[in-house]
């Protein structure tokens, strides 16, 4: 009985040995699409740090006492928060074509990857036109 417990515990901790070079079964494709999204999200977060720092620097150099509009960073932050809500809702909707099916996670992750990569480029263009 104890040996069975350890066997099952070890199986629960095991990572699947999947290859994203040529994914096969749907579960493997879903996993690989999620990994691509996570990589795109890490790149977005790195770009966000660079763009946010540049916007804060622009704010520090801006001297317009009669300008009541939000600063560079505040505007960027507002836009980014709205974009995140848009991305997630849009991709959720895209996945609804396969709602409840095994392909839904693939569609959602692929959508999020594409939009996230595009947003990373947009953030970069704000500081390096």
5-60 confidence digits (pLDDT tens):
555 555 555 566 788 888 888 999 999 999 999 999 999 999 999 999 999 999 99
Which among 85, 62, 91 is positioned nearest to 74, based on CA atoms?
Answer: 62
Please give the full DSSP string across 2-61, using - where no structure is assigned.
Answer: HHHHHHHHHHHHPPP---TTS--SHHHHHHHHHHHHHHHHHHHHHHHHHHHHHHHHHHHH
Q: What angle do CA 109, 93, 41 make, to 5 degrees?
A: 30
Q: What's the pTM?
A: 0.83
Mean pLDDT of the chain: 90
Class of domain 24-58+72-127: mainly alpha
pLDDT band at 117 (very low <50, low <70, confident <90, very high): very high
Q: What is the pLDDT of residue 120?
A: 98
């Amino acid at each position: 009985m104890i040996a069975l417990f350890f066997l099952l515990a070890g199986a629960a901790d095991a990572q699947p040995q999947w290859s994203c070079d040529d994914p096969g079964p749907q579960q493997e494709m879903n996993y690989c699409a999620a990994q691509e999204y996570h990589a795109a999200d890490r790149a977005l977060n790195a770009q966000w740090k660079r763009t946010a720092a540049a916007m804060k620097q622009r704010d520090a150099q801006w001297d317009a006492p009669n300008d009541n509009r939000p600063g560079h960073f505040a505007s960027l932050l507002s836009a980014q928060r709205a974009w995140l809500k848009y991305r997630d809702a849009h991709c959720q909707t895209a996945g609804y074509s396969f709602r409840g099916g095994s392909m839904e996670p693939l569609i959602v992750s692929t959508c999020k990857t594409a939009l996230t990569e595009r947003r990373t480029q947009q953030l970069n263009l704000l500081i390096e036109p």
